[in-house]
């Protein structure tokens, strides 16, 4: 493996090691805007390229293909990908098992060096990767930049965290013994990322697995395989040995299930819908012939996230936070605010402030940097429109509600607000995963706190209040994995906001936090009598 010299800021046994979150790009600066436009033009010239499966370093073509399209212009093909099927599952597993024999014994320093190398390459090509995100999943410039920045953060943060694990010590050293605690890799894992953060989440799950010594079968979303292919190219450029990551876009029902059920699969790292996550959990729990371990599932499955606006809140700040949380990336975030619960004494005033802001948002091609780009595909758009029709019966349409027609047939939807919604209404309970916000009126803070906890999810939430007693009560009783005070409920930052939820939001895996790498390891206690 080709390695680079360690960054002098990263020292063994120091998890901080100089880690700083990647700064956001200011696209109001003319030079940054120019570079982004140049990147969009450069990437546009590469659209439609075909990408191979890569298993153990071997390039493979299949008869069946996956065509990734630009959701803003569905006739525009972003990438053509091979479609791994059940027949490729065993080949990928054997490749990953073979690579595990050497990769699991590779020094921590070499594995860290790989991640630092990858981060360096991505940082140098940040605008290019932003452009790929704009074309493949419809992110505007700021959303794409945040995705790329988080990718770099995951790589840098996990590189430092694995050094901390490598220096772990037992709490007690018995007299006359040398007592050690070792964190050893699990084995071969399936990494199944989502389409909505197709760079950061995909790269973060993969990086956590391989930096701890595991090998991976990577099955990206069929809506965003090109970003994963570009990341795989960077892994190879950075010096990753063949077979450490095996790039396998494919069918979830065939290839995905075959990998999840394989007796040699040691763990499954998944981000996506509750339905698919629970199915993976169930399949993984069923012991296969020849299986000698309990498979580990690391699951993040979405949310029905709430912002509670109290009577004493700064209403302008609250309206800004709700709009940013509800409509960033067209609401296609598991952390997005899909419910605003508002104290009745400020309800009408808050709705007017919200309406003013929402009507100023623009919808259009993200390459032109509109506030809202397209939703991911036609199926998603149709589902959102059905929810809006239900919402019109359950509440009062305040803004939006339509899918504007475009010459290119893009999957666009106006930012939608539906007020006067009951806490148990369909649009108050079910994850819509789009730019649709329900407003719920409550009598007071106590009632609001009950409503915020009335769904099966528990991912993110926020409360706007200037009353310290209310914030302290929310800290204890607002039951979500990521809670925010007087700020939006999206935009978790690696290191500062370890991310993962309660209840049906998943296994509370806390990506970007000090516990995350533990999920990809098993601890081994070694005691030697002196």
| DSSP codes of every residue in 490-519 | --PPTTTS-B--EETTBS---BTSTTGGGG
Look at residue 8 in the predicted model and tell me its pLDDT.
Answer: 40
Instruction: Return the CATH superfamily for domain 30-301+509-529.
Output: Aldehyde Dehydrogenase; Chain A, domain 1 (3.40.605.10)
303-332: burial string, b at 16+ Cβ within 10 Å, e else? bbbbbbbbbebebeebbbbbbbbbbbbbbb
Q: Which phi and psi angles does 79 have, rounded to 5°? A: -160, 150
Q: Residue ranges of the chain with pLDDT lower than 50?
A: 1-8
Q: What is the DSSP letter of 148?
A: H
Cβ contact 305:338 at 8 Å: yes
Task: Name the token pair of 372.
Answer: 């809202």
**Cα→Cα distances 129→42, 140, 154, 227, 508, Å:** 11, 12, 16, 8, 29
Cα–Cα distance, 441 to 342 (Å, whole number): 5
The architecture CATH gives domain 305-493 = 3-Layer(aba) Sandwich (3.40)
Cα–Cα distance, 414 to 372 (Å, whole number): 8
Task: Name the token pair of 314.
Answer: 């700064």
Measure CA of the first residue to CA of the last residue in the chain; give whole Å. Answer: 37
Cβ contact 421:341 at 8 Å: no
Cα–Cα distance, 40 to 30 (Å, whole number): 15
Cα–Cα distance, 40 to 28 (Å, whole number): 17
Cβ contact 492:513 at 8 Å: no
**Cα→Cα distances 460→165, 234, 296, 481, Å:** 28, 32, 24, 6
Question: DSSP string covering 419-455, please?
Answer: ES--TTSHHHHS---SSEEEEEEESSHHHHHHHHT-S
Q: Which phi and psi angles does 215 have, rounded to 5°? A: -115, 160
The domain ranges of the chain are: 30-301+509-529, 305-493
Task: Name the token pair of 485.
Answer: 């005070």
Cβ contact 272:260 at 8 Å: no
Does this model's pTM top 0.85?
yes
Task: Report the candidate in 385, 410, 379 with the shortest Cα–Cα distance to residue 400.
Answer: 385
Cα–Cα distance, 494 to 320 (Å, whole number): 23
- Considering 248, 334, 337, 489, which one is annotated as catalytic? 334
Mean pLDDT of the chain: 96
Look at residue 18 in the predicted model and tell me its pLDDT.
Answer: 83
300 is catalytic: yes
Look at residue 10 in the predicted model and tell me its pLDDT.
Answer: 59
Cα–Cα distance, 285 to 291 (Å, whole number): 11
Q: What is the DSSP letter of 5?
A: P
Residue 36 has a CB neighbour count (10 Å cut-off) of 23
Report the DSSP pairing between strands 416-419 and 396-399. Answer: antiparallel
- Considering 136, 300, 394, 431, which one is annotated as catalytic? 300
Look at residue 14 in the predicted model and tell me its pLDDT.
Answer: 55
Q: Is the dihedral of CA 480, 485, 490, 491 positive or negative?
A: negative
Cβ contact 190:265 at 8 Å: yes
Cα–Cα distance, 204 to 209 (Å, whole number): 9
């Amino acid at each position: 493996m080709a390695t680079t010299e360690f960054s002098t800021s990263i020292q063994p046994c120091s998890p901080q090691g100089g880690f700083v979150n990647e700064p956001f790009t200011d696209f109001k600066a003319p030079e940054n805007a120019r570079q982004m436009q140049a990147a969009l033009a450069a990437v546009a010239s590469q659209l439609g390229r075909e990408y191979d499966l890569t298993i153990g370093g071997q390039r493979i073509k299949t008869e069946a293909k996956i065509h990734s399209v630009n959701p803003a212009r569905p006739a525009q093909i972003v990438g053509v990908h091979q479609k791994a099927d059940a027949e490729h599952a065993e080949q990928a597993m054997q490749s990953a098992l073979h690579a595990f024999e050497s990769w699991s014994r590779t020094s921590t320093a070499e594995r860290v060096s790989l991640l630092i190398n990858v981060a360096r390459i991505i940082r140098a090509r940040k605008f290019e990767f932003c452009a790929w995100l704009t074309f493949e999943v419809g992110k505007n410039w700021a959303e794409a930049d945040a995705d790329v920045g988080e990718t770099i953060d995951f790589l840098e943060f996990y590189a430092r965290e694995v050094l901390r694990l490598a220096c772990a010590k037992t709490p007690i050293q018995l007299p006359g013994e040398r007592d050690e605690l070792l964190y050893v890799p699990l084995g071969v894992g399936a990494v199944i990322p989502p389409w909505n953060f197709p760079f950061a989440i995909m790269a973060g799950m993969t990086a956590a697995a391989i930096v701890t010594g595991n090998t991976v079968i990577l099955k990206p979303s069929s809506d965003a395989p090109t970003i994963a292919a570009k990341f795989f190219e960077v892994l190879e450029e950075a010096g990753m040995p063949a077979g450490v990551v095996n790039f396998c876009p494919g069918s979830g029902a065939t290839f995905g299930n075959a990998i999840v059920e394989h007796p040699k699969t040691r763990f499954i790292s998944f981000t996506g819908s509750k339905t698919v996550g629970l199915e993976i959990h169930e399949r993984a729990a069923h012991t296969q012939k020849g299986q000698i371990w309990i498979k580990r599932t690391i699951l993040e499955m979405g949310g029905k996230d709430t912002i509670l606006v109290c009577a004493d809140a700064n209403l302008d700040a609250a309206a800004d936070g709700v709009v940013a949380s509800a409509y960033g990336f067209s609401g296609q975030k598991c952390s997005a605010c899909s419910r605003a619960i508002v104290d009745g004494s400020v309800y009408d005033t808050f709705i007017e402030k919200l309406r003013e802001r929402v009507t100023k948002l623009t919808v259009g091609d993200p390459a032109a940097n509109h506030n809202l780009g397209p939703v991911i595909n036609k199926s998603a758009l149709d589902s959102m429109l059905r929810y809006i029709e239900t919402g019109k019966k359950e509440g009062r349409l305040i803004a939006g509600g339509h899918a504007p027609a475009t010459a290119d047939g893009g999957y666009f939807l106006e930012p939608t607000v539906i007020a006067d919604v009951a806490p148990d209404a369909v649009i108050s309970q079910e994850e819509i995963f789009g730019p649709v916000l329900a407003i719920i009126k409550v009598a007071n803070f106590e009632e609001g706190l009950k409503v915020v906890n009335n769904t099966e999810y528990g991912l993110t939430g926020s409360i706007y209040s200037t009353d310290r007693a209310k914030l302290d009560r929310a800290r204890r009783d607002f039951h979500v994995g990521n809670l925010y005070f007087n700020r939006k409920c999206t935009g978790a930052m690696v290191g500062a906001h370890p991310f993962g939820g309660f209840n049906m939001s998943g296994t509370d895996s806390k990506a970007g936090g000090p516990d995350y790498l533990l999920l990809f390891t098993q601890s081994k206690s070694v005691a030697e009598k002196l």
